[in-house]
Structure 1
Amino acid sequence: MDFVKTVLVTGGAGFIGSHFVCSLVNRHPDWRIINFDNLDYCSNLRNLESVEENENYTFIRGDICNPCLLKHMFATENIHIVFHFAAQTHVETSFIWPSRYHMVNVEGTRVLLKAAFEAKVEKFIYISTDEVYGESLYKELDETSPRRPSNPYSVSKAAAECLVLSYRERHKFPVIITRSNNVYGPRQYLEKVIPKFVSFLQLNKKCTIQGTSPQSRHFLYVDDAIEAFHTILERGMVGETYNIGTNFEISIIQLARELIKMCVLQVRHVPDAELDDWLEFVPDRPVVDLRYPVNCEKLWRLGWKPAVSWAEGIRRTVKWYQENPDFWPDVKTEDQPITFEPDTRDQ
């Protein structure tokens, strides 16, 4: 079959990337979708079971830090569009292995950019994060707000953004950057706060709250994030940056209390004191941003807004984890970051 376009999705076996790959495969049967992933600890090919037999889906295992592999892939696969999701993303672990985060998130992006530029792809979409802005207690952050990253993860993402923009400035390379709120939903790896709390509660363990500062986050359901990426693909302007977010914000303590009600007590009205028996306070990370309120009017003008309410999204998410308790069978549910050996392969 001759395909109209070929789309490369890096990190397509991870949480958000796999949801996006599946949507692309189903929405564009006349496009070839290549999932490029190194199958690191938070990736899982089970995420792609629904599309793995489709004619327009291809999986290639590889490392974005491998220039020879990337050059060969772009030379042979006729890639038109790149969505770059692949990254190390766990903030706690970034304090332990900052060099690993720099290698994957910065150097990997540089290697991928070079290969994509030399192949003359028609669009390169870089998936960044609202964490590059740093903390803002009151003011909403728009795409022109300065970047003030405060941890090794967000520093590496901000540095990668600079690389992407340098290709735009120097080479007029057709890039777009997205910065999203916390995305949640089915199949997310257990290091992230919502699946971590749900997994703890399934084992009758307490939800662990880092520190005593009033941290809160904006949570965006994964289906809404995927629709945002499709909107940007179809109507986004080359050279622009787009915030992807929601007005819904919840404190981490209140999030834990809601999950305790849903997973353990299974009632709506419970005194906070009773809920707090299921909370355990643990030492905080070295640097903590209290909140990241982002302004998404630029993306709204393209016709996108979140459609899934928090009540519906968290209901779907908890239900999925309850029905799939063994999806991540080898994960330790201790309250500590996932650690790994440094990658010593030739880059």
Structure 2
Amino acid sequence: MNLLVTGAAGFIGSAYARMLLAPGAAESAGVSRITVLDKLTYAGSLDNLDLTHPRLTFVRGDICDADLVDRLTARARQVVHFAAESHVDRSIAAAGEFVRTNVTGTQTLLDAALRHGVERFVHVSTDEVYGSVEHGSSTEEDPLDPNSPYAASKAASDLVALSYHRTHGLDVRITRCCNNYGPGQFPEKVIPLFLTSLFDGGDVPLYGDGLNRRDWLHVEDHCRAVELVRTEGTPGGVYNISGGTELSNRELTERLLAACGADWSRVRHVPDRKGHDRRYSIDDTKAREELGYRPRHDFASGLAATVAWYRENRAWWEPLKRGLTA
């Protein structure tokens, strides 16, 4: 089977592609070939993929390019859709590209999938679509209440995807994950941003009072969950994917400072982000009971390995940091 994976030159999508291309993975996953479609924006890199792998085909292009998407989808039996604009601060400054990529791009893919009879379409989303959760945890049945332009664009794409299932019978499955971390994450995200700044002797910016809370999920656990949804999930199903480690931004900062041998003198308090959600929390009981999902990485060891990776791979992240400040 040929699997079309969008956005797989980015952090999460490339981890998913590498997982499926690992020795022995093809037989268990039923995937003989992977076609990667990626625009190679600032957050995507060919260094994240082994372009010499005999089962991998890379195509540079935009998911809003209907003709290109049509040609690639015609050759695919299933689609896993990671491609998205995903940085909240960028969406606050300029929302247009988020709406274009996340909503129109998803609709373009769905149209092509419907036209060519794609047997399965997995849409990768986020816990941010539920908005801020004061108490308890969001379930898949809770209403969507996004606050940032990024979250709103993802909520819209979720609803468009589900409409293709309900209206046309397309087998659409949606995952909504919490904050990801791990090796190879682009250094505008909080963990690699803080680590790389601390390694360079700089300070780190902490929004507001630092008490905003997030749940943390290792990228490899996320990819395994996406694969469980693809292979074992229910058509029209939505699945929350949690990492099980909820921390305030202040608690996360403390751990990163300690890992880098730094103290609070390196922390720069900055005004809070506009519309900053106070807390995200999702209930992943459905994925656990229906699919047998369990995260394998505990946060302490996963973070330690992530810190070590960034410490040992300056040649990877230094050019990216220069690009962010250029």
TM over 0.5: same fold? yes
Q: Deviations over 1:300-342 (max 9, x none)?
A: 01111111101110011000000101213333469xxx699xx
The normalised TM-score by structure 1 is 0.89
Displacement of 1:149 in angstroms is 0.1
Q: Give CA-to-partner distance per residue, 1:256-299, whole Å, 9 cap, x none.
A: 1111111134xxxxxxxxx3212110122111111111100100
Which of 84, 88, 93 is the aligned partner of 2:90? Answer: 93
Instruction: Give SS of 1:190's match.
Output: coil
Amino acid at match of 2:76: I
Correspondence list, 1:284-299, <5 A: 284-299=272-287
Q: 2:83 & 2:46 partners in 1: Cα distance?
A: 15
If you compute each CA radius of gyration, which structure gives the higher value, 1 or 2? 1
Structure 1 residues 24 and 90, CA, compared in 2 at 3 Å: closer, same or farther? same
Structure 1 position 123 matched with structure 2 position 112: no
SS of the counterpart of 1:330?
helix
Q: Does 1:277 align with 2:233?
A: no
- CA deviation vs aligned residue, 1:221-243 (integer Å, no higher than 9, x gap): 11111111121122111110000
Q: How does 1:1-347 map to 2 (within 5 A)?
A: 5-26=1-22, 27-28=25-26, 31-49=32-50, 52-75=51-74, 78-212=75-209, 214-265=211-262, 275-301=263-289, 302-332=291-321
Percent of residue pairs bearing the same amino acid type: 38
- Any conservation in 1 of the 2:173–2:230 contact (CA below 8 Å)? no
Runs of 4+ in 1 over 6 A off after TM superposition: none
Aligned length: 320
Measured in 1, the distance between the counterparts of 2:200 and 2:180 equals 24
Alpha-carbon contact 1:93-1:339 (below 8 Å) kept: no
In the aligned structure 2, how far is the partner of 1:257 from the partner of 1:204?
16
Tell me how far apart the structure 1 counterparts of residues 320 and 48 of structure 2 sit (CA, whole Å). 16
The amino acid that maps onto 2:126 is T
Cα distance in 2 between the residues matched to 1:125 and 1:332: 32
Q: Distance in 1 between matches of 2:191 and 2:160?
A: 32
Query: How big is the alpha-carbon RMSD for the aligned residues of Structure 1 and Structure 2?
Result: 1.6
Deviation at 1:213, TM superposition (A): 5.3
Matched to 2:212, the amino acid is: Q
- Check conservation: 2:257, 2:264, Cα contact below 8 A: no
CA contact (8 A) 2:4 2:73 kept: no
Structure 2 residue runs without a partner (length 5+): none
- Give the equivalent residue in structure 2 for 1:271: none
Question: How many Å separate the matches in 2 of 1:35 and 1:339?
Answer: 29
Q: Secondary structure at the match of 1:87?
A: coil
What is the alpha-carbon distance in structure 1 between the residues aligned to residue 71 and residue 299 of structure 2?
43
The structure with the greater share of residues assigned to helix is 2
Superposed CA offset, 1:117-149 (max 9, x none)? 101100000000000000001121000011000
* One-letter identity of the residue aligned with 1:134: G
What is the identity, as a one-letter code, of the residue corresponding to 1:28? A
